[in-house]
Structures are given as structure tokens and as C-alpha cells.
Structure 1
């Protein structure tokens, strides 16, 4: 995969990746901060409601008792944005840990591609100096 060097190239890469069959979501993540630059698709099928609630709760900081007691009302769009943000942080941590493993095995080697397959989904992660590209596929039932 040719890796982009500009915002236009990121958009082009995302369009190309999201057009592949079986793709349910794509993400472009800023490499140094884990910020989601762009995403397509939906992650709703990946997370159970309890998982996404606990992820959101663990990443939100509550500072006052009033904030702890106030009901949190999120729209579906806000919930999906939070899911992408939480997912990006998990991917970012995974890539950094794996990169450290590779570096500890051989300091002259580097991480080029990660492929993670579960019963339901497959993630293909391509790290670059500036970006992480993530493609989420549905795994066909056997």
C-alpha cells in the first residue's frame, strides 16, 4: 500500500480502502497523538453496549459531584464518534506495544503491517511515520 504524505492523499487512501468488499470501517489515525483524522463506516457491530459504555467511562474525566450525578445523554452520532476515538486509542496502544516488541527483538527491524483476526472481525493495520491506517473487515461465517 502506498502511504500518503498529505491530507488529500489521506482522503484518497481512505476512499480506496473503504471501497473494498467486506470493509465495515476504516480509520486514519495521527501517529503521535492517536487522534482520529478521518473515518468511514461504523464500529457499532464491533462493541457490545456494555463494552462501549465502559470504554467511554474510562476515557472521560469527571471533576465535580454534579457532573457525576448528571445523566449523560449522547446522540447516536456522538456515541459513534466516541467509539471511533476509543477504538483509535486501543489500536494506537497495540501498535506502540507491538513496535516496542519488534524493536526489542531487533533494533534494526521495524513494524510494517499488523493483521489481527477474531471470530467476527479482522483488522489490518498499516503503520507509517505520520499515520496509522486501520481497515476493519467482517469475517465471513464458515
Structure 2
């Protein structure tokens, strides 16, 4: 990403992605732009418009990355809305979702969403 890109993450993000990717359980790391989420509706069905800023790991390459990005956007929006409804002024900071195969760690921020996909049992 160029320095002129409004969605470009700060330079230290590259080092953080590299460091996270070094853990043996980590299959991929992805950074999504929060500005991609317009209103209350994510747009995962639009090809090439998944809000992906940067990725590491083959699991997030191509169509797989777009699928995960769309799913994460919907999860962040719905969970954030539920939290705000339950406790006014509260907001989502970190989420861990474990499936039979993987674990997703999702960390929303004001401008970005960090997603780490790892194998939980190794």
C-alpha cells in the first residue's frame, strides 16, 4: 500500500503482522478497513470489495480472504450492536471464536479490524 492510500495502516502494522505470523499455530493474519463498513450493512457479496487492507498466510488469499472478510464484518457489526443494546456506551474490543477446526481472534479498532486465524490445539 502506498503512503497516500487512506486505508493504509501505520508502518508498525507490517512488523506486527510479521511477528504474529511467526507463531506456529497461526494460519493467517488479516487487517480490514473499518471505513469499508457503511452504515449497518457490510457488503461481502461485492466482488473485490471486501475491505481487506493487508494479509499474511495462504488461508486469506483470493476468494478465501474475501469470504472471511465478509463473515468477520457481519460478526463485528452484529456483536457490536448487541453489546451496545445491552450496555449503552460499551463497545466490542476483542472476540475469540473457536470452531471444530480453527480459532478466530478478532480485534476491532476505530479504523481497522485485526483478524488472526489459528489452529487451536497444537
For 2:112, the equivalent position in structure 1 comes to 131
Q: TM-score, normalised by structure 1?
A: 0.66
> How many pairs align?
102
- Select the residue among 15, 18, 26 that pairs with 2:18: 15
Stretches of structure 1 lacking an aligned partner (at least 5 in a row) = 45-79
Deviations 1:89-110 (A, max 9, x none): 1101101110000000011211
> Secondary structure at the residue paired with 1:13?
helix
2:74 alignment counterpart: 93
Query: How far has the Cα of 1:21 moved from its partner?
Result: 2.5
| TM superposition score normalised by structure 2 | 0.76
CA distance in 2, matches of 1:25, 1:97: 23
Runs of 5+ consecutive residues of structure 2 not aligned to the other structure: 1-7, 37-49
Between Structure 1 and Structure 2, whose CA radius of gyration is higher? 1
Structure 1's consecutive aligned runs of 4 or more residues displaced over 6 angstroms after TM superposition are none
Q: Which moved more, 1:126-135 or 1:6-15?
A: 6-15
CA RMSD, 1 decimal: 1.8
Higher helix share: 1
